[in-house]
Each structure stands twice: as C-alpha cells, then as structure tokens.
Amino acid sequence: MRESGSGTCRSGRERARHAVPLREDPGRKGTIMAPRPFREYRSTRSKEREMRAWRIALSGLVLCSAVAAASAETINATPENLASILERVNPGDTVVCADGVYGGGFTIARSGTEAAPIVLKAAGSGCVFEGGADCLRIEAASYVTVEGIRFQHAERCGIFPAAPPAEPATHVTIRRCVFAENGFPGVMSGHINHLTIEDCEAYGGVRSHGLYVSNSGDYPVVRGNRIHNNVKCGLHMNGDPEMGGDGVISFALVENNRIWENGKPAGGSAINVTHVQDSIFRNNLAYNNYAGGIITYYDTGGDACASKRNKIVNNTVVFRPGEGKWALALKRNSTGAFVQNNVLVGGKYAAIGIEESSREGLMMDYNVIATYPGQQFGGDSTEGTSVSEEEWRKLGYDAHSSIGRMPQFENAEAGDFRLAAGSAGVDAGADLKDLVLTDIDGNVRPRGEGFDCGCFERSSGEKSARRP
C-alpha cells in the first residue's frame, strides 16, 4: 500500500509566509496548513495582503482535500497479506478479500471518517474467516464497514467491535455477513454508537447468543437478519451498567428480523432486552423458539437503568404448543411501553407476562393474543400467578384487541406466518403510519382497509413466503 500525500500542501511564497499548521492526520504523511488568525490591521494595504493570503490558503486546503480523496485505494487482499494490509489501511480504503480461507485473529485498529470509511469486503461468495480467539476484532475504530464475509468457528466471536467506555467508537456497519458456529455470539459489541448489523445470518452459537449488542452504545440498528439455532438468545441487547458508560442502550431500532429455534438447551429469548430505553422493535418475526419471545427487564443498575419507554409494534411471535415462556413479557420496571399491532401466540408460562411494576404508562391495545388449550392468558404459571382476559381488560388494556381467537396463518408449517384471509388481526390494527410505514418484506402499510397486526401486511393474490 502506498503512503498518500507528498508532504505539506503549499501554494507560493505568500502562503508559506502566512501559514501555520492547522491539524495533522496521524494516519497519513503531510500537514494541512492554514493561515494565522486575523489580527488588528494598521492599514488597508496590510489587510488586503492578509485577505489575499487567506484566499490562497483556502484554495490550498481544497487541493489538499482533493489529494486526500484521490489517495483512497481499492486493495486486493489474500490470506497471506491481509494482516499487513489492515495494519496500514487508511480512511477511504476498500480492502477486497479474494475467495479463500483466512485464519482468524485479524484486527482493524484504524478509523475511517464519515466521508471516507474503511471498508473490508468479500470479492465473491467464498471468503471465509476461520477460527481464532475472534475471527475479526475492530478495536476502538470508527467508520468501519464489513461486508459479505463468512465468519465461523471462532473460540469467541465472529466479529468483536469494542472501545473503552470513556471513548466509545462510532459507525461500525456489518452487512450481508454469515456467522456460523462460533463459541459465543456471531457479533458482540462493546461501547459502539451507531452500530449497524443488517442482512446477516447468525446461527449455531455453541455457548451463547446469535447476536449480542452490549454495553452502553446508543443508536444501534439491527435490521433484516436471520438468527436461528443458537443455544441462548437470538438477539440479546444489554446496556451492562457494571461495564461503564451510562449503563443503558438508547434509541435502538430493531426491525425486520426473522428469528427461530433459539434458546435450546440454555434458554434465552428470541429478543432479549436488558437496560434498553427509548427504542423501537417493529416488524420482527419470532417463531418456534424454545424460551422467551420478546422480553424487557433490568438486572443490575437499579430503576434508572431499567428498560423504559420502548415501542413494540407489528411483531409476530408464535410458539408451538407446550413450548416457550411468554410471547411478550415486561419485567422489572419496564414502564412506559407502547405495545400495539402485535400477534402473540402461545407460551407455556402465559401468552403475556406484564408485571405490575411495568404497568405505569403502558399503552397496550390492537393486538392479537392467543393461547393453546390448557395455557393461561397472563401471569406466570411457574410462580402461581395468573391474570385472566377479563381482569386484564378491566385494568384498561387491550380494549380493541383480539384475545383468545387463534390467528390463522397461510402455512405455519412451511414458515409462512402471513395472516390468512378472515384471520383475527387482518385490517384490525391501529393506524401507526407515523411509526410503521412498511412490513417485514418492504410492502407499504396499509394494503387493505386498515393496518394488519403482526409483521406481514396482507395482500390478496400474493405467493406464500416460505421459511428463509
């Protein structure tokens, strides 16, 4: 890789006389120059000279920016040279990995910029990072994008982006990657703001979750992923108060994910929400999991770090008979939740488990809530607590919801959880056009007389959507 820049950008004697260093980019050679600040002028002539110097300097800065942009490289990598390339990568560089098996243990410790991120991507469909403590670590680096690579069989994580709590990193994007049979989560983050994980597949976690957004990084986006067959949670989010920062994940967006057959044998929810506030969970499909559905709570840090003011809308959560805990549970001061337009089916503990401590500010209505024979509507059968449909409605919740009528799906056995014609929940949701514009497949809502409940918006004549 070449070193960009060829020394200080200068433009004539005038600039050399008036210029002082403005900043230095430690990742590149050269110093960007800028003139001294304005000072009191004793004459019009001296002022004109200074103004001329500024014009020359500014033109030089534009030239320097153009040189920096032009210095961005597309670098072809192989298993033999990738490590040395990552040690020298600069903002704007795109590292393209040829097909092949790359040993794990790679590290990116250099940052891109908002205008010039560092990109690590696969050239084709056969780029595999295999093993290592972590297949790839992103250490205190911002504006980094990883695309199209398979990460498997790491002792710990497929990708581990992390930074110190006092200096969190920002804008790490992981897109169209596969995480297979890693010891711990496919992705586990720590103190990353604006983390995005989208269009990925995470399965076969040997001892842990599929994806794990951890520590107090704000504005994460988890979108369009397929998360399945992990021994614990599908997606686990935890602000981790004991790990520094404010102990809370705020302003998350979790949408359009398909999550199935997680939580066996170790337990864990499809979407586990711990110390998360002011976030949106919409258009997610969680089916045939073995423990919880969508569960919010806190375990350390006290009430200030509880999961509060979250919006849970247009999700479909379905268990098989006799499996799972709750389709939805709000635990330990999960107050201020907005819960509408969801389809919630089954759960051997109960269909819903809304603790009294979590009812303050709760807005819950326009849902489809159903149980199998012998299972209770609300509470926790393992603790001997029960809330009936009648008691729940008297508390002021789910006045317009369908309770007790099992929704009809197009073909649940084949993984098609679109509501069938005439099912509970068709055209029966609240108008949430300010919050939910499309369904899990990108179809505009509504498509009929009203919003459908659940993650799919029904339209007559469309083909069945098979299991991904």
| List of residues 6+ apart from 319 with CB closer than 8 A | 287, 288, 289, 293, 327, 345, 346, 347, 348
Nearest residue to 159 via CA among 177, 142, 143: 177
The answer to whether 67 and 4 have CB atoms below 8 angstroms apart is yes
* Residue 460 banded pLDDT, cuts 50, 70, 90: low
Q: Tell me whether residue 143 is in a domain.
A: no
The residue from 70, 86, 112 where one domain ends is: 70
The answer to whether 146 and 117 have CB atoms below 8 angstroms apart is no
% residues pLDDT > 70 (the chain): 83
* Residue 70 banded pLDDT, cuts 50, 70, 90: low
- Average pLDDT estimate for 241-259: 97
List beta partners, residue 188. Answer: 212
Q: Is-cis flag, bond preceding 79, omega within 30?
A: no
List beta partners, residue 144. Answer: 118, 172
Q: Identity (one letter) of the amino acid at 119?
A: V
Q: Tell me whether residue 51 is in a domain.
A: yes
What does the pLDDT look like over 380-402, one tens digit per residue? Answer: 988 889 999 999 999 999 999 99
Q: Tell me whether residue 92 is in a domain.
A: no
Q: Tell me whether residue 48 is in a domain.
A: yes
Q: Tell me whether residue 330 is in a domain.
A: yes
Neighbour tally for 12: CB within 10 Å: 10
With vertex at residue 206, the alpha carbon angle to CA 237 and CA 283, rounded to the nearest 5 degrees, is 40
Number of domains in the chain: 2
Q: Assign 60 to helix, strand or coil.
A: helix
What does the pLDDT look like over 190-209, one tens digit per residue? Answer: 999 999 999 999 999 999 99
Neighbour tally for 411: CB within 10 Å: 14
**Rounded-to-integer distance, Cα 224 and Cα 176, Å:** 10
Q: Tell me whether residue 385 is in a domain.
A: yes
Q: Tell me whether residue 164 is in a domain.
A: no
Cβ-in-10-Å burial (0-12, 13-18, 19+) of 465 comes to middle
Q: Which residue has the tokens 């504005």?
A: 219
What does the pLDDT look like over 208-219, one tens digit per residue? Answer: 999 999 999 999
Q: Identity (one letter) of the amino acid at 299?
A: D
Dmax (CA) of the chain: 94
- Average pLDDT estimate for 373-384: 91
The parent domain of residue 43 ranges over: 12-70
The residue from 22, 38, 70 where one domain ends is: 70
The residue from 42, 70, 98 where one domain ends is: 70
Q: Tell me whether residue 405 is in a domain.
A: yes
Nearest residue to 149 via CA among 93, 96, 70: 96
Neighbour tally for 441: CB within 10 Å: 13
